[in-house]
């Protein structure tokens, strides 16, 4: 039996204009999780409180912990 799931795909890379990308990141998240009110509220808070872009993410502890928290929550 084949089953299908809608997913949201996010992608960002570290290059600007004519610069070659040095780092690329991507994430696929099931739409059911992405649109769940509890998860979406936390996701919005992390995005609003931190700039999450591969172009300038240098390992900032609070941002890293926020990203990890969202990933662990989505896994549950």
Average pLDDT over residues 56-74: 71
| pLDDT category of residue 72 using cuts at 50, 70 and 90 | confident
> What distance in Å separates the CA atoms of residue 31 and residue 49, rounded to the nearest whole number?
23
Q: How far apart are CA 14 and CA 73, in angstroms?
A: 27
The whole-number pLDDT of residue 68 equals 77
- Please state, in angstroms and rounded to a whole number, the distance separating the CA atoms of residues 33 and 61: 25
Q: 39 φ, ψ to 5°?
A: -70, -45
Confidence class of residue 59 from pLDDT cuts 50, 70 and 90? Answer: low
Q: What are phi and psi of 9, to 5 degrees?
A: -115, 130
Q: Quote the pTM value.
A: 0.49
């Amino acid at each position: 039996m084949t089953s299908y799931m809608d997913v949201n795909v996010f992608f960002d890379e570290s290059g600007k204009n004519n610069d070659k990308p040095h780092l690329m990141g991507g994430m696929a998240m099931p739409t059911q999780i992405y649109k769940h009110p509890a998860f979406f509220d936390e996701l919005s808070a992390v995005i609003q409180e931190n700039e999450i872009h591969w172009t300038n993410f240098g390992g900032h502890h609070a941002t890293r912990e926020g990203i990890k928290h969202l990933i662990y929550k989505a896994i549950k």
